[in-house]
Each structure stands twice: as structure tokens, then as C-alpha cells.
Structure 1
Amino acid sequence: MAENEVFFSEAEDPGMLKAFQQAQETFKYFWRELSWEARRIIPALDLACVKVAFSETVADQPEPIVEHMWINDIGFDGETVSGVLVNNPNRLTNVQNGDFVTVPLQQISDWLLASQGKTCGGFTIQHLRAGMEEEERQEHDDAWGLDFGDYQDISVVNGQKEHPENLIEHPMSINMRDSFIQFLQEYPQEATNRDDAGYTLLHKEAIAGNKNAVEVLLQFKADKDSKTNDGKSALDFARQLDWAHIIPLLEK
């Protein structure tokens, strides 16, 4: 089975396929927000989950069974997404609610963030909302307890309409620059330390798309050529995720 075959809905709905693609292309914004949420003293997110296409090959069926289900407690290493399954499968027998799973980024089909009741992402949800009558759409939103807004205008970052510059750099990345400098002055070894998988802070900040942190780390002599145990540099991740504002810093 080709890697992307699991993303086809049973009806091969072009609109749903487009939603899957949009979710994968914009997942980097989900992860950027989650990376900052981990540093907040007071949490800002009410909900952060990812929908994954799970499949199972059954001997007497020509096509694999596919179910798209949500996971939370999300982790991301630049290539694979991990989390805990929070749905009960309808037909699949190879996964169950509560399982910890790890999948390639290309296997996700949606992501959803919610803060103060307002959402970002939710591409498959918005596609379904687009086909609803107004009353049905309101009932759907009430069941979620969230404000999904206009299904034709999906935000991927908080405050996107009022502050489109947030697409380039997270406001916390700008506001925390001086604090990050002070942190590295006190703990300079953090600029070069590697975790068990070989990731440095430079890798992690490049994956999260934080230009200010990348600039500061390079000023503190972080090794931009350092590679993970799988042979990936910070530049490799910036290119894979298409963080256009960070790539030039790492190419110098």
C-alpha cells in the first residue's frame, strides 16, 4: 500500500482530501503554538488534538479498513507525530482508546486548537460544516462547545485576522527574546547540549519556527551543523517544514 493511500475517504471526497492536505501543510503552526504552551505558567489552550488516519488490512477485504480518529498529548520531532488515542474505533482491531501511537506527519488528517472557545485549524470539521444548514451547523458547534467561526475563512494562528504578522513569528517568541538571552547567559551549556535522540535546542526551535530563538542560539555559538541520531540538522527540519524566515539564518 502506498504511504498516502490511507488518506482517501471512502467516497474519495475531493473537499475532504483537500482538508487533509491543508492540515498536513499547516501542522507546523499547531506545533509552534504547542511549543509555547509548554512554557506558559498559565495555560492558554483549552484543546489541542490531532486527527490521524489509522488503517488495518483484513484478509477477506480488497482494501484496508481506514478510520480517522483523534489523539491528544501531542509530541512532534520534526517528522513523526505522537499522542494518545482518545476515540473508540468502530471497526479497527489493531488500535484502541488509550493507546500511545506514533505516525509520520503525512498520516495526519486534521488538527485543532481551541483557546477561549475560538478555534484554529479543524479543516475536516469545517468541510463538514460547509455542507450543513445553518441550524444544523449551530447544533454541531453547540455540541462541541466551541466557536468554529466562518467555514470559508479558517485561521491557523491565534489573532490571525487582526495580526497577520503572527503567521511569521509567534508573539511570545518576540516578547521572550531578552529572557532567552538571560537564560543562555546563565546556562551557556544549553546552547550545545544534546538529548538522547541527538536533538539540540537549535533543532527544537527550528522545528517550532521560532526565528528569535534561532538567532539567539546562533549568537551563543550553537552548532548549526549538529545532527540528530537520525542525521538531521536544524536546517533540514526548517526546510522540511518550510519555515522560510528561518532557512536563511541556517544557510549562512
Structure 2
Amino acid sequence: MEQTPIFFADGENPKMIEAFQKAQETFKFFWRELSWEYRRIIPALDVACVKLAFTQEIEDETVVEHMWINEIHFDGEYIYGTLVNDPGQLTDVNNGDEVKIPISQISDWLFANQGKTYGGFTIQAMRSEMGEDEREAHDEAWGMDFGDYNDILVAFEQKEKPENLIEHPMSKNMKESLIDFLKNNPGEINSKDESGYTFLHREAIAGNSTSVQILIESGADINAKTVDGKTALDFAKQLKWEHLLPLL
């Protein structure tokens, strides 16, 4: 994604506060989608970015700027990515910097498929206060269809297939492939990365119950802990993936 305008939110604006809250509550759907995007041979997303609140003390005052990052990774607690905005006042970050920010500082997220957007809560809050012509010009500038600002989607075909809110269709579709992969690569079942994350941790963070179930059936250790002492169940609870709790 190229340079995107920074929008400064008035902390007292109830619409923006509500947008921040909704973005934080639903961020797990963004990460679930992106976790599958990274496995696709042919990319499906036009854009995938997260807006974060960056803060800095300048002359004894806390300055906040909400800026977008892309090339995102998520470990269940921190979001990693590359800043794609030029800060207005902040001096401790620059466009192109790699950043690590806690999940509590999310102010928005957005992904788009074939020009149709998902998320974008702060953007929709702003669109709700525009006139029709202004909204059209705004959407044209982004080159995307933001749809109805009162009806924000978080998952593909969630209205036609409400089950997509519980389980990503790719998690089901890739079931046999995962079974075959684990049979051929048994060492992957409980191997850990440098931070102690296992395959099960990563699938739990992404909310993929089919994958979680197959991993457990294949011998994954549900009690495996990251370097910070987190189990897959801990992440499922933190992210409120309720459908994973009985499995873990």
C-alpha cells in the first residue's frame, strides 16, 4: 500500500472511540484472514493494513498519531509491521520503520478483496459524516468500495454463510492437506520457533478450529508453552475464540 492519509481522531468523539473499540474486538478476524493469505499460492487480498496509535512525549505533552502499517505479523499479543505514513509531529518513528506495538493500541484494521472492504471502522465513522458526493470522492481516492458505513463486514460472505464468522472456509477446505502434511512431516507437530510458539499456538491465535483439532489428534502438546509461558488455550481465551475452548 502506498502512502495513505493520516486521520487524527478527536479523543472525545464518541464515534471514534466506538470505532477503536470495535476494531480491537474484531482484529482477530483480520489476523485469521491474513494467516490464510500468507499460505495462498495466489494472493486474494488487494490490501491488508492496521492503524495503530503511536504515542510520544513531546515538551511534557503526550502526542498521539494514528498511522497505518502493512506487512503485518501478529504473535497473539504484539503487532509487527512496517509504517506507511509520514508522522506529522512524532520524531521517534519514520515512514518505512519496522514497528512492534501492543494489541491494545489498535485503532483500526482493513483488508480488501476485489475492491470490497472489510473492517475500516474509523474510516466508516468518518464516511458517516460525509455527504454523498464527498463519500464517492473519498472511495474513489482509495479505489475501493467501502459499502454501507452502518454495515461493516469482518469476514467473507458472512451474511450468506454465517458459519464463516466461526470458522474460516479455508480451514475446512485444507483439512486433508494438513493431515497429509503432518503425516509426512511429523517433526512439525511439536517443533517450536525461537519464541517457543508451536504450530498449535499459531493455529489457535488464528482461530482455526479444524486445524487445531487435527493437530491435537496428531499428537500436538496442548500444554506447550511459549517463552513467555503462554499455552494455545491462553491465546484462545485472550482473543475470545470461544469455539476453540472445548478443544483445548
2:4 paired residue number: none
2:5 paired residue number: none
The SS at the match of 1:28 is helix
2:60 matched to 1:75? no
2:240 paired residue number: 242
The SS at the match of 2:90 is coil
Out of 162, 165, 175, the residue aligned to residue 164 of structure 1 is 162
Count of aligned residue pairs for this structure pair: 241
TM-score (norm 2): 0.95
1:54-87 superposed Cα distances (whole Å, 9 cap, x missing partner): 111112x4x3111100000000000000100000
Q: Partners of 2:88 and 2:135 in 1: how far apart?
A: 24
* Paired AA for residue 248 in structure 1: P
- 1:103 deviates by 0.5
Q: Partners of 2:157 and 2:170 in 1: how far apart?
A: 13
Structure 1 vs Structure 2 CA RMSD = 1.0
Q: After the TM superposition, which parts of structure 1 deviate over 2 Å for at least 4 consecutive aligned residues?
A: 8-11
- 1:158 deviates by 1.3
* Paired AA for residue 165 in structure 2: L
Alignment of 1:67-106 (within 5 A): 67-106=65-104
The SS at the match of 1:57 is strand
Q: Which moved more, 1:216-225 or 1:11-20?
A: 11-20
2:190 matched to 1:192? yes
- 1:159 deviates by 1.3
CA contact (8 A) 2:11 2:17 kept: no
1:230 paired residue number: 228
2:122 matched to 1:124? yes
1:210 paired residue number: 208
TM-score (norm 1): 0.94
* Paired AA for residue 220 in structure 1: S
2:144 paired residue number: 146
Task: Note the residue ranges of structure 1 that are not aligned, 5 or more in a row.
Answer: 1-7
* Paired AA for residue 224 in structure 1: I
CA contact (8 A) 2:69 2:81 kept: yes
Out of 167, 173, 176, the residue aligned to residue 175 of structure 1 is 173
2:13 paired residue number: 13
Q: Partners of 1:34 and 1:9 in 2: how far apart?
A: 26
The SS at the match of 2:149 is coil
* Paired AA for residue 88 in structure 1: D
Q: Partners of 2:47 and 2:9 in 1: how far apart?
A: 25
1:3 paired residue number: none
The SS at the match of 2:242 is coil
* Paired AA for residue 109 in structure 1: S
CA contact (8 A) 2:10 2:16 kept: no
Task: Note the residue ranges of structure 2 that are not aligned, 5 or more in a row.
Answer: 1-7
Q: Which moved more, 1:155-164 or 1:131-140?
A: 155-164
* Paired AA for residue 38 in structure 2: A
The SS at the match of 2:58 is coil
2:52 matched to 1:52? yes
Q: Partners of 1:9 and 1:106 in 2: how far apart?
A: 16
- 1:162 deviates by 1.5
The SS at the match of 1:236 is helix
The SS at the match of 2:118 is strand
Distance 1:10 1:150, change over 3 A: closer
Percent of aligned positions with the same letter in both sequences? 62
2:30 paired residue number: 30
Q: Partners of 2:10 and 2:163 in 1: how far apart?
A: 38
CA contact (8 A) 2:236 2:244 kept: yes
- 1:11 deviates by 4.6
- 1:9 deviates by 3.9
Q: Partners of 1:159 and 1:69 in 2: how far apart?
A: 28
2:43 paired residue number: 43
